[in-house]
Amino acid sequence: MNKTLNILLGLLTAALLASCGGGGGDAGTSPFTGDPNGGSDPTAARLTLLLNATSINNSGAATVTATATAATSAGQALSGIPITFSVDNGATFTQSTATTGTNGQSTAVVSIGADPSNRVITVRATSGSLSASAPFAVTGAALSGTTIPAIVAPGSTGNKVDFRLVNANGAAMIGQTITIVAGSLGTTTGTTGVNGEYSYAYTAPAATGPLDVTATAGGVSNTQTVTVQSSGSSPPSAVGTIQSASVSANPSVVSTNTATTNNRTEVRALFVGLNNLPIRNVRVRFRAEDLAGNLLPDGSFSTADNLVYSDASGIATTAFVPGARSSPTNGVIIRACYSAIDFATCTPTAPLSATTTITVAAEPLSVSIGSNNVIISGPSNLTYRREFVVLVVDASGRAKGNVDIVPSIDLERYYKGQYVRGATWFKGYVVNPNTTPPQNAAHPGIECFNEDINRNAVNESGEDINRNAALEPRKSDVAISIVGNGKTDDNGAAKVVIEYPQNVGSWLRVKILIAATGVSGTEGRATWTEILPVPIDAISAAAAPAFIVSPYGVAIFNEDVTYPDGLFVTNVAPCQNPR
């Protein structure tokens, strides 16, 4: 049970009464001299303190504004009166000005400091011998507990009670001192972990009967009662008809684990009956499944396969700790099977169960590449550049930063041909040069496969099909690089650039391959294929473009060819033509 709220309210009420009596009225003879209506400096006879809130939550974002007002005995606000603030119980503050302003006020903004525990903080304002104080409460810490198991045999070992401490936003309160008092077993002190958790392990006492295990941390307490008795009996059955059974997991996306991590999601099953009243002692078993209903191969629950009993709030809790494998989006089903009495197993076909889904994600899962329609002129206007964005996400679609990106490019095909002039420059050939303007016909050029079949940049037998003693295209005709440190940024993005000489534009078809290291599954690579584009203004300009003639030749039709080595061949295919 949470016993702290009543204590806090009592302390707060008492402190407020004390504040009203000691800080708001005439303090007696003023320690300041002078007549407020005369020619000497005005003096303060009264100091009051007002807070804009009597309680704030312990999330760390909320603050309280304290306003001190200095006045004469007649109530006239005084400026220039020095004010000193102070706070207790680990709080901190910042003060606006050291003296009161024209409204007779000085303010301080108070925060809870590094301590997120529930407590009462007192703010005090002092000016000379005058002082005023006012309290406010810090609330929001919550401590829950789960007995594993709820019934233990006398003298048995391996029993535990799991406690978890969270703040007002449900976030773990880490590194908080927790004290466990367990009857004849004495007192144990520990510290909450990275998930706000603390597991109290104990050996059951020899005597039978109820064993109250009370934990106190963060200014709140929680008592879990364990039944020590011989096997064959169980707690009372759940009473009432369950009108609603639900299960939730927070967070719904949880990272995978390694040998040194303990990532987990908190699972809560809630059972309510008529008039939305909670039902106690509902038996629950938790199970993790894949989307096909199969038992998840890795991952475990903090309660293992034990029965968990709902508490007075109708809540049964556990935590799911993933293994090393990631899942598809919403690819893990958390099932809570339940009954009013004890039962043995939880299965997908259980008549009474509630489910929710989570995503287990740690490794980047998917890589994409995309671009725009912009072509950039390189340094000295000798090259063209194209920029691409690479995006890496995990199974839930969240951006994955700091992932190594390895780009590569393959020159799949090259083209022979030329541009001719019409209304604009276009790929084609001259039909009749004697007309005005010359008669031209469109032709996309001849498509040829990369001669370097195995891409090892070595001219091997049978590869140089045009017999010009070189492999086309040259690997260096296009360069690819990644901007920055070679990793994705916090948005999961990285920029890749390709650069090529302007005369190569439109005469190569390239395939960009992006590989992301550490990506599991089939989506760890992404490709982009395009014919190297050229700027529209180069096509429409009157001057001939740099790429007017393909660097790989202009042969269009089959013809007789004499090769550089003297071999004469008739009716040579265009890609086998060295010109």
Residue 533 CB neighbours (<10 A): 14
Residue 142 has pLDDT above 50, yes or no: yes
Report the amino acid identity of residue 498: I
The predicted pLDDT at position 361 comes to 77
Measured distance CA(46)–CA(69) in Å, rounded: 8
User: 3-state DSSP call for residue 172?
Assistant: strand
Does the pTM surpass 0.75? The reply is no
Residues 278, 326: contact at Cβ < 8 Å?
no
Mean pLDDT of the chain: 87
The predicted pLDDT at position 364 comes to 62
CA angle 282, 285, 291 (to 5 degrees): 130
Residue 32 has pLDDT above 90, yes or no: no
Residue 521: pLDDT band with limits 50, 70, 90: low
The predicted pLDDT at position 232 comes to 63
Q: Which of 558-570 are b and which e, b meaning 16 or more Cβ less than 10 Å from the residue's Cβ?
A: eeebebeeeeeee
Q: Which of 40-54, 125-139, 227-241 has the weakest average pLDDT?
A: 227-241
Average pLDDT over residues 119-147: 95
Average pLDDT over residues 431-444: 83
- Give the pLDDT confidence of 164-178 residue by residue, as tens digits: 999 998 889 999 999
The predicted pLDDT at position 229 comes to 86
Give which of 286, 501, 258, 287 is closest to 377, Cα–Cα.
501
* Range from 12-26, 38-52, 411-425 that averages highest in pLDDT: 411-425
Measured distance CA(383)–CA(497) in Å, rounded: 12
Our separate counts of H helices and E strands in the chain read: 2, 39
Between residues 576 and 21, which one has the greater pLDDT?
576
Give whole-number Cα distances, 191 to 146, 182, 214, 215, 265, in Å: 17, 17, 15, 11, 20
The predicted pLDDT at position 85 comes to 97
The predicted pLDDT at position 35 comes to 42
**Would you call the peptide bond into 235 cis, given omega within 30 degrees of 0 as the criterion?**
no
Residue 283 has pLDDT above 50, yes or no: yes
The predicted pLDDT at position 41 comes to 54
The predicted pLDDT at position 522 comes to 54
Residue 22 has pLDDT above 50, yes or no: no
The predicted pLDDT at position 435 comes to 78
CA angle 573, 574, 575 (to 5 degrees): 95
Q: Which of 12-26, 162-176, 456-470 has the weakest average pLDDT?
A: 12-26
Q: Which of 184-208 are b and which e, b meaning 16 or more Cβ less than 10 Å from the residue's Cβ?
A: eeeebebebbebbbbebebebbeee
Residue 458: pLDDT band with limits 50, 70, 90: confident
- Give the pLDDT confidence of 66-125 residue by residue, as tens digits: 999 999 998 999 999 999 999 999 999 999 999 999 999 999 999 999 999 999 999 999
Residues 99, 91: contact at Cβ < 8 Å?
no
Q: Which of 247-261, 301-315, 345-359 has the weakest average pLDDT?
A: 247-261
The residue behind tokens 């004499």 is 562
Residue 375: pLDDT band with limits 50, 70, 90: very high
Average pLDDT over residues 297-325: 92
The predicted pLDDT at position 406 comes to 86
Residues 370, 388: contact at Cβ < 8 Å?
yes
The predicted pLDDT at position 324 comes to 87
Average pLDDT over residues 443-457: 89
Interstrand relation of 55-57 and 130-139 (parallel, antiparallel or unpaired):
parallel
**Would you call the peptide bond into 149 cis, given omega within 30 degrees of 0 as the criterion?**
yes
Residue 518 has pLDDT above 90, yes or no: no
Ramachandran class of 254: left when φ > 0, alpha when ψ lies in -120 to 50, beta otherwise: beta
Average pLDDT over residues 511-537: 83
Give which of 122, 136, 135, 60 is closest to 89, Cα–Cα.
122
CA angle 164, 169, 175 (to 5 degrees): 45
Average pLDDT over residues 256-262: 86
The predicted pLDDT at position 121 comes to 97
Give, as one character, the DSSP assignment of residue 168. Answer: T
- Give the pLDDT confidence of 182-217 residue by residue, as tens digits: 999 999 999 999 999 999 999 999 998 889 999 999
Residue 333: pLDDT band with limits 50, 70, 90: very high
Ramachandran class of 133: left when φ > 0, alpha when ψ lies in -120 to 50, beta otherwise: beta
The predicted pLDDT at position 363 comes to 64
Measured distance CA(207)–CA(185) in Å, rounded: 11
Distance from the Cα of residue 268 to its chain's centroid: 21
Residue 322 has pLDDT above 70, yes or no: yes
Three-state SS sequence of 55-104: EEECCCCCCEEEEEEEECCCCCECCCCECEEEECCCCEEEECCCECCCCC
Measured distance CA(513)–CA(1) in Å, rounded: 60
The predicted pLDDT at position 42 comes to 62
Interstrand relation of 253-254 and 244-250 (parallel, antiparallel or unpaired):
unpaired
Report the amino acid identity of residue 165: L
- Give the pLDDT confidence of 41-65 residue by residue, as tens digits: 567 899 999 999 999 999 888 999 9
Residue 24 has pLDDT above 60, yes or no: no
Residue 415 has pLDDT above 60, yes or no: yes
- Give the pLDDT confidence of 497-513 residue by residue, as tens digits: 999 999 999 999 999 99
Dig out the tokens for 492 from the structure.
Answer: 């999961």
The predicted pLDDT at position 572 comes to 82
Residue 519 has pLDDT above 90, yes or no: no
Report the amino acid identity of residue 369: I
CA angle 344, 263, 268 (to 5 degrees): 45
Residue 517 has pLDDT above 80, yes or no: no
Percent of the chain exceeding pLDDT 90 equals 62
Q: Where are the alpha helices (DSSP H) in 126-266?
A: none
